[in-house]
Amino acid sequence: MTGNYESNYRESIENPEAFWGRAAEDVLWYKKYTRVLDDSKKPFYRWFSGGEMNTCYNCVDYHVESGRGEQTAIIYDSPITGTIKRYSYKELQDQVARFAGILSKRGANKGDRVIIYMPMIPEAVFAMLACARLGVIHSVVFGGFAPNELAVRIDDAKPKMMISASCGLEGKKVIEYKPLLDKAIELAQHKPANCIIYQREQATAPLISGRDLDWVEEMAGAEPHDCVPVLTTDPLYILYTSGTTGLPKGIVRDNGGHAVALKWSMKNVYDVKPGDVFWAASDVGWVVGHSYIVYAPLFNGSTTILYEGKPVGTPDAGAFWRVISEHNVKALFTAPTAFRAIKKEDPQGEYKKKYDISCLKYLFLAGERLDPDTYHWATDLLNIPVIDHWWQTETGWAIAANCMGLEPLPLKAGSPTKPAPGYQVEILDDAGNKVKNGAEGVVAIKLPLPPGTLPTLWQNDDKYKESYLETYPGYYFTGDGGHYDEDGYLFIMGRVDDVINVAGHRLSTGTMEEVISMHPDVAECAVIGAADDFKGQLPLGFIVLKEGAKKDEKAIVGELIQMIRERIGAVAAFKQAIQVKRLPKTRSGKILRGTMRKIADGKDFQIPSTIDDPVVLDEIREGLKTIGYAKK
């Protein structure tokens, strides 16, 4: 699929059957689909209905049969344990087929569910692919999730069994998983029949007789299992994401559309070819890990890196450069938070000078908004395209991107460029009318969504419609606000509830964060809308200073107030900011602005189960008290 961006994009919107039908020729089907796009049950669109295939076959066996068996499929790099291990496609096939044999022997069949609660080790990937091999629906839960949150997912998915490890590693800390798993099963009403536990040398988990099985012992006598044909519309996995009610939503991903979209994206979004080394520095517990650590690179016949470490501290701010240099990485995909962490520790980029990273052609950033300061810092440091692209757990791949494999477009700081083929992205006002370029509004995607996106929520079609389709009929509601500029470039300014109302003026906290991040002493920042009796809401800033910043907090805050007044105007009413050591974040790097807002407003809140370090919230609360907030 070649040609310029505009012609590809136009065809994908005007004639999606032809566009995606051509892309589907790259996928191996046991039985070809009868319809590319099935719109017979609107708004539940299905792609490639009537076909049969197997995701694991397309990821593993196909490459072995095509002569790539000796090529490296997975590089496991763990600076925490000092381990580097490589698995060829043939070795991956052996591990996956035998583990699929264990699952089958223990009663997991096509359509059953299995929950995977694992750290960043190769066995997590083997487990995911083994489930796909059998048509078993996997649900990966981030290792170390709190027991009550895991219990909620157990009761929703009703898994036949659990797959876990004795522990995960967070820097120098050993997080024992088994007590968390046992507590979750105790809390859940549904009781899985078995738990398969991989024992790591850093901790040994006690096994419950009759229920728990040792991974290594089971594998010793395992018989390999062939791939099982499944319908293209059968679910591949369930991935739970936060819901507005506090209950998780089970995002469903099907087999056929997922394979077509992800394989297409590797070539056309990321410009990664078979044999190239691709590194998504994320976790298999998040959607990025599903899509771009496991499935997309393996669909594509590329080499993927499974990294058990951090951008800083394992051992230093040169960790990423070491991995890129040592493993010949062509494209790196990570979150802006990772680069802000590197920038904070090593603002001059001294660690990079120790390594030859000339192999790196692209840096892709996603998962949160890429502020222009970080964009420019990374661009100046690396002298390669730094590509912001925007997507969601629900979509599974990029909604908007600069498609490097099609036609690279000029880059703009703060913009993920233009919608990827298949996504008709429009900016709507509160009444659902399209707004002109330059005007802020809600970002919505005209139906149907392209292949690879969620067809529904797990066993909850009504919630799917309520959450995503009813706000603007005929559109998928993204929950994000943004605008197009005069060149048709898309700008995403954050969640709609991050748009604050100051005396009737709708203001984007993302715009304010852009201004604050321009200050030479600011490493990272967040702006929330705090309740105000007079103006409804007032913006409140939180700043993390760079190492070695010489000015005091009062002077820097004064300069920030002036910068926002100059760039946004007095209407922003930005008058307060506090310095903090760090911002509260989820383990995937998203700033917990909603929780910060509740603390500032003195409202009750629950500590999110996804938080990286709960102690940070106490620091935020104490800081807010000094300026008259967080009264509770």
**Residues 96-107: tens digit of each pLDDT:** 999 999 999 999
DSSP assignment of 533-564 equals TTTEEEEEEEEEEPTT--S-HHHHHHHHHHHH
Tokens at residue 391, please?
């997507």
Tokens at residue 185, please?
């099963």
Closest CA to 391 of 519, 541, 262: 262
Q: Rounded to two decimals, what is the model's pTM? A: 0.87
Q: Could you tell me if residue 435 is left (phi over 0), alpha (psi between -120 and 50 degrees) or otherwise beta?
A: beta
Three-state SS for 324? helix
CA 574/CA 541 separation, integer angstroms = 8
- Please state, rounded to an integer, the average pLDDT across all residues of the chain: 93
| pLDDT at 69 > cutoff 90 | yes
Q: How confident is the model over 572-588, as pLDDT tens digits?
A: 889 999 999 999 988 77
The answer for residues whose C-beta is within 8 angstroms of residue 410's C-beta and 6 or more apart is none
What's the confidence (pLDDT) of residue 2? 45
Q: How confident is the model over 239-267, as pLDDT tens digits?
A: 998 655 556 789 999 999 999 999 999 99
List the chain domain ranges.
5-40+47-309+389-482, 503-625
CATH topology of domain 5-40+47-309+389-482: Rossmann fold (3.40.50)
What's the confidence (pLDDT) of residue 12? 98
Q: Does domain 503-625 have CATH number 3.30.300.30?
A: yes
Provide the pLDDT confidence category of residue 598 given band limits of 50, 70 and 90: confident
How far is C-alpha 194 from the chain's CA centre? Answer: 29
Per DSSP bridges, beta strands 490-495 and 522-532 are unpaired
| pLDDT at 83 > cutoff 90 | yes
Q: How confident is the model over 397-453, as pLDDT tens digits?
A: 999 999 999 999 999 999 999 999 999 999 999 889 999 999 989 999 999 999 999
> Considering only 334-338, 381-385, 461-465, which range has the smallest mean pLDDT?
334-338
| pLDDT at 42 > cutoff 50 | yes
> What amino acid is encoded at 165 in this protein?
A
| pLDDT at 489 > cutoff 70 | yes
Q: How confident is the model over 198-208, as pLDDT tens digits?
A: 999 999 999 99
Residue with the two structure tokens 């990772």: 338
Query: Is it true that 5-40+47-309+389-482 and 503-625 share their CATH fold?
Result: no
Tokens at residue 296, please?
């997309």
Three-state DSSP string of 385-418 = CEEECECCCCCCCCCEECCCCCCCCCCCCCCCCE
φ, ψ dihedrals at 125, nearest 5°: -70, -40
Closest CA to 139 of 287, 14, 242, 9: 287
Average pLDDT over residues 145-172: 92
